[in-house]
Amino acid sequence: MDLNKIQNLKNQAISGILEVNSASELERLRIAYLGRRGELNELLKQLGQLPTNQRVEAGRQINDAKQAIEQTLQSQKNSLPDSSKINDWLDITAPGKKPALGHLHLISQTIEEIAHIFEKIGFQRVRYPEVEWDWYAFEGLNMPPEHPARDEWETFFIDNLHHPKLGRGVLTPHTSSGQLRQMEAQKPPLRMLNIAKCYRRQADASHAPMFYQFEGLLVDQNIAITHLKGVLAYFAKQYFGPNRQTRIRPFHFQFTEPSFEFDVTCIVCNGKGQIEGKRCPVCKQGWMELGGSGMVHPTVLKNGGIDPEKYTGFAWGWGVERLFMMKYGIDDIRLLFGGDLKFLEQF
């Protein structure tokens, strides 16, 4: 027996095994080389015919070849797909599985919807700094230094940031600062929609230290409260649906006079204030507050460089998250920032 024959047989077996792509073919090769009547067993039968000095070396090479072939068989078997998971039947006309698609965050969706509704009636969306000066955030909006909103427990003041004329730097507490900036940039008539992040030192089920707010401002000649109520009622019906009713209630804000709170009927009890004879757990009375509004204070118009004897206007500022919560009956603002996919994928 030629010893080269053993080496050639091993190389031939390994090469053939590595080209196999099915378990059945792999089993056929195993039998051909390692079976009872396989190639290696036939070589073992010939060992007795060899001289003593060649028999030991031939036996060692045959064992080495057997181990190499077994290892290659096992390696190739592990690399083949699991036949139990393969369905040989294939219908190419069957619909495929669509990959999961993401979507905009709920807050981003709401911002786009708000902007789209007001664009229809001529409001121009703008953006102003999140880091604001005291003048635009407070002083120019008719809030004197002793006003409670300027207290450090309500506002995030920024250390070592001070303007010689505009005062201290703050994280903007409301989008109302955009009113003065828009008046400086554009003379009447103007219709502004400012949507931005705001910051206040509040945190509970209905408040967050960072939240989104949208501010509307309209300034022109002969603008009255009826225009204010009409625009906001239009928005409420566009956003909440045609069956939602609205109302305004007298209130007080430093930068508007007169001032109003704007309410919409509760989504949970449909404005009835009761569910099955019990008080509504959400609104208690049938109405839910959206936010503040009012006619722009003459002092604010002056500070923005507009003559209050010639022009009047109205403004409002509402929370984006609150709007979304009141549309879908959500009672905890923290759900919007929690990142829970089970919640977010519902919208």
Cα dist from 330 to 15, 82, 112, 115, 177, whole Å = 66, 48, 20, 22, 29
Question: Where are the domains positioned within the chain?
Answer: 3-83, 106-344
| Residue 194 in tokens | 């400012």
Q: What is the pTM of this model?
A: 0.66
pLDDT given for residue 204 in this prediction? 64
Q: Phi then psi for 89, rounded to 5 degrees?
A: -85, 135
**Mean pLDDT for each 10-residue chunk of the chain (347 residues)?**
75 85 84 83 78 78 85 84 60 82 87 94 91 91 78 79 91 90 92 92 70 93 94 93 88 91 84 82 80 94 94 93 82 77 81
Residue 259's closest CA among 220, 287, 288, 300?
300
Residue 345: what pLDDT?
Answer: 82
pLDDT per position as a tens digit, 79-109? 876 655 555 677 788 888 888 788 888 889 9
Paired with 251 in beta bridges are 259
Answer yes or no: is 257 a known binding residue.
yes
Q: Does domain 106-344 have CATH number 3.90.950.20?
A: no
Edge-to-edge order in the sheet of strand 167-171? 131-133, 167-171, 157-163
What confidence tens digit (pLDDT) does each residue in 281-297 have? 767 788 888 889 999 99
Q: 306 near 298, Cβ under 8 Å?
A: no
